[in-house]
């Protein structure tokens, strides 16, 4: 795969972290050129996200497409993540399902956030989010106190989804605040267990 920086990742450590605490942060592993190409692959169908879903509040613009219909750079990027993790798993561990949905998100006028939540039950396998540009506080919980950092360009965060690697696995609670300055854009890849066009809930 050309110019992603992903080849430098310790996939064994990443797979172990996902199987254990349920998340891994891979800081700055996607180079600027690839971030720009992934950003340029976004469909021109931006829409405002629903402001409230249950007790979760959010504000951002998003657009998405079936993973298999996305640009080649998006498909190569996603396939490398899933296949590299699967190869690094201990024998007997369920493989990571390949992504079937690609979603871009961006802030508007400096506002773009989502409060603490788990991704919905139909988000299986793993959930991979790369920050294409911008910086924002990110928190993830695997205990009473969150781990927090400032996401930056090229950061890749991978979360465990529902039902992987075991049937009782769940997505860790996580949260993203608005950018510390300017705007932020991300690409999130998911495996929707109900199919790429189905509702997650």
Domains, the chain: 6-192 (2.60.120.620)
Q: Which of 6-20, 114-128, 160-174 has the lowest mean pLDDT?
A: 6-20
Q: Which of 6-10, 62-66, 154-158 has the lowest mean pLDDT?
A: 6-10
CA–CA distance, 3 with 191 (Å, rounded to integer):
24
Q: What is the pLDDT of residues 26-44, one digit of tens each?
A: 999 999 999 999 999 999 9
DSSP 122: T
Q: Across the chain, how many H-helices and E-strands are there?
A: 3, 13
Q: What is the CA radius of gyration of the chain?
A: 16
Q: Which of 165, 164, 173, 189 is nearest to 70 (CA)?
A: 189
Distance between first and last Cα of the chain: 34
């Amino acid at each position: 795969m050309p110019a992603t920086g992903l080849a430098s990742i310790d996939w064994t450590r990443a797979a172990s972290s996902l199987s254990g605490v349920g998340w891994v942060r891979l800081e700055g592993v996607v180079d600027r050129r690839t971030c720009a190409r992934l950003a340029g692959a976004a469909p021109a169908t931006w829409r405002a996200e629903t402001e409230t879903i249950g007790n979760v509040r959010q504000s951002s613009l998003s657009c998405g497409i079936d993973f298999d219909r996305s640009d080649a750079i998006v498909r190569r990027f996603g396939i490398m993540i899933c296949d590299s993790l699967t190869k690094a798993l201990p024998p007997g561990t369920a493989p990571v399902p390949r992504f079937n949905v690609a979603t871009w998100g961006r802030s508007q006028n400096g506002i773009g956030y989502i409060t603490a939540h788990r991704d919905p039950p139909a988000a299986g396998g793993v959930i991979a989010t790369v920050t294409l540009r911008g910086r924002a506080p990110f928190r993830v919980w695997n205990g009473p106190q969150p781990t927090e950092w400032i996401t930056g360009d090229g950061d890749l965060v991978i979360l465990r989804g529902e039902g992987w690697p075991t049937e009782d696995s769940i997505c860790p609670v996580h949260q993203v605040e608005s950018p510390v300055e300017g705007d932020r854009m991300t690409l999130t890849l998911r495996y929707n267990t109900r199919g790429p066009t189905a509702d997650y809930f």
